[in-house]
Amino acid sequence: MLAPLDKQLPYSNGHKPFHGFGLGLRPEYYQDIIEQEPKLDWLEIISENYLVDGGKPLYFLDQFKERYPLAMHGVGMNIASTDSLNFNYLSELKKLINHVKPLWVSDHCCWTGVNSHNTHDLLPLPFNEESIKHIVSRIRQIQDYLEQPILIENLSSYLSFKTSDMPEWEFLTRICEEADCYLLLDINNIYVNSRNHSFEPLDYIQGIPKKRVIQHHLAGHADHGDYIIDTHDAPITSSVLTLYKQALEHFGPVSVMIERDDNFPQLNELLIELDTVREIFNDVQSR
């Protein structure tokens, strides 16, 4: 069984770690980050990129490990699937965890496949008791196996189910409380969902317990008017930065990073964007 959380992580007693401002590490920036060693407090790696036998990914991983604290973020845990848990995957992930010794390990509160067919997309599910019970049981098994708590990330989604009977923030809170896990709260995803599913994003922020939020994601999206796609291919919008400011006011200091997955700008542009995030943070904290 999982040891009590207060014996494993310093943040269960109310003292949350704050690691500052980071970036999502992508191969497009490997060389620049190694050569420039920019002022970054930490980096987030995509776990699956390093579940390989050898070659460049593992070489660079060790280079970054020497230079920056790393958090591990996955897309393959398939937490909410009704398939059996994939212990081969978890075993490989655990080996990587032992190698990287990350700040923490996260994945998404979603399913990516079923019937052994993986879509490699982050798919939503109904927000109801059946889903909570299923996910809580799975997260507990995963945490037992990995011997550490995990962070789950809120999803961006484009459809919702009639069988949902609670708001997303209540759904996530219930899962975190019942599974004793933590949240990687993606501020952009809250904004995207607020537009796609017509709710007030501040209600979401205020509906999440402060003690569960360990990390924030920030990213850009594509606004199509009637709906928004979470593309990570553009700068963070002013609406999302405003919501981030409101999140800071509610949650206090939370480690934060920018995700960029397409239409990659020069590294310097991302660093400038991260400076903007720092300024918002400092502004809120100095009040």
Partner 1 sequence: MTLKQLQSDFLANISSLDMLNSAENKRNFTDRLCQQGNITPDQRLSIYQNAYKARLCSVIDSDFPNLGKLIGDDLYNPLCQAYINAFPSESPSLNNYCAQLPKFISQYAPLKKHTITTELCDFEWQLRTSFDAKDSNALTVEYLQTVPSDQWPNLTFKFTHGFAIKYYSMNTVEVWKALNNDEQPELQKLDVPQAWVIWRQGLVTQYISVPVDEAYLLEAAQEGHCFESLCELLLEWWPEERVPERAFHLLQHWLQLGLLSQ
Tokens matching residue 245: 């400011």
Selected from 98, 198, 282, 286, the binder of partner 1 by CB under 8 A is 198
Minimum CB distance to partner 1, residue 161 (Å): 6
Residue 66 near partner 1 by CB under 8 A: no
Residue 1 near partner 1 by CB under 8 A: no
Residue 250 near partner 1 by CB under 8 A: no
Binding mask 132-151 for partner 1 (x = CB under 8 A): --x-----------------
Contact 153, 106 (CB under 8 A): yes
Name residues contacting partner 1, limited to 42-61 (CB under 8 A): 48, 51-59
DSSP, res 14? T
Contact 124, 160 (CB under 8 A): yes
**How big is the CA angle at 22 (ends 68 and 246), to the nearest 5 degrees?**
150
Binding mask 162-181 for partner 1 (x = CB under 8 A): xxx-----------------
Using alpha carbons, list the distances in angstroms from residue 271 to 29, 88, 93, 195, 196: 12, 37, 29, 28, 29
Q: Report the interhelical angle of 87-100 vs 56-67 (nearest 10°).
A: 40
Q: Which of these ranges, 169-177, 193-201, 240-248, 268-276, lies near partner 1 under the rule CB under 8 A?
A: 193-201
Burial of 283 (0-12, 13-18, 19+ CB in 10 A): exposed
Q: CB nearer to partner 1: give 1 or 159.
A: 159
Name residues contacting partner 1, limited to 252-271 (CB under 8 A): none
Give the footprint of partner 1 on this chain (CB under 8 A).
Answer: 48, 51-59, 75-78, 81-82, 86, 89, 111-121, 123, 125-126, 130-131, 134, 158-164, 196-198, 226-227, 229
